Amino acid sequence: MKKHHQITSAMILAAGLGNRIRSANKLVPKPLIKVAGKELIEYSISNAIGFGISQLIVNTHYKADLINSYLQTPHIKTLISSRSNKLIPLNIKTIYEIERLETGGGVRNALTELGNNPFFVMNSDSIFGCTSFNPLSHLARAWDSTSMDALLLVCPLNSVRGYSGLGDFALIDKINKENNLLDRNNKIVGKVQRWTKNKQETALVFTGVQILSPSLFNNAPNGPYSLNTHYDEAISHQRLFAMKCDEIWYHVGTPAGLKLAENNISG
């Protein structure tokens, strides 16, 4: 893999309605539901801080005032001030969506804040069983702007908890030394395609953590739309890549998924 340049911006997607999990806690939006004593969004914020991000964007919609208030709490300010590299200040900015723009529209709407270089995008409900594992560091080491428009972090089904689907993507490159598809931590990296029941390749689940190039949005539509639009476009140009990770990943999208994470994560 080519040496990556420092990625300085990240976005946390926190504008969802969280309808499936709302019965577990109707008082707060999904990003503020707690797992192992921490709000869901704190896990993503901690990863951004640990990596050294300087600009963090959080989009909001449902109960946006509660998310804004949380980001101003002494706890978050202490978390920011405790970062190892204090020479890089962290600026957290929220963007309120009057109309919920979904994943693609939400990122497109934040491009002016994210800058002209590749950036991270994270769901606010992605938690790994090993909380010391920072997915951003692993993705950044594998990023190559010359060949990639997007790099997704994916897990095999046997590493996923709280997920009821069949899978999202499949690696299409053969793993060998010639095409250099192992990063320095032996995480498998390669081009991906959509997985279907008819494919022989192993089904992989997208964790919601990724690096995106701003150029991916050159032909972006206006209004609400899904990032899947850009993934399919990148697939057609053979520029959608993924890193396969075997860390346990919790999909906290339902009360059952929440309970599973709560019972297995120590915080």
Residue 224 domain flag: yes
Q: CA torsion angle for 114, 118, 124, 128 (degrees, to 10)?
A: -150
Q: Measured between alpha carbons, how far is 147 from 167 in angstroms, rounded to an integer? A: 24
Residue 18 domain flag: yes
pLDDT band (50, 70, 90) for residue 179? very low
Number of domains in the chain: 1
215 in Cβ contact with 149 (< 8 Å): yes
197 against 118, higher pLDDT: 118
Q: Please, is 156 exposed, middle or buried when counting C-beta atoms within 10 Å of its C-beta (0-12, 13-18, 19+)? A: middle
What average pLDDT does the chain have? Answer: 88
Domain ranges, residue 225: 9-264
pLDDT band (50, 70, 90) for residue 267? low
CATH number assigned to the domain comprising residue 164: 3.90.550.10
The pLDDT of residue 116 is above 70: yes
pLDDT digits (tens, 9 = 90+) for 58-70: 999 999 999 999 9
Structure tokens at 16: 């969802």
Residue 3 domain flag: no
Residue 1 domain flag: no
Residue 153's pLDDT is: 97
Residue 211 domain flag: yes
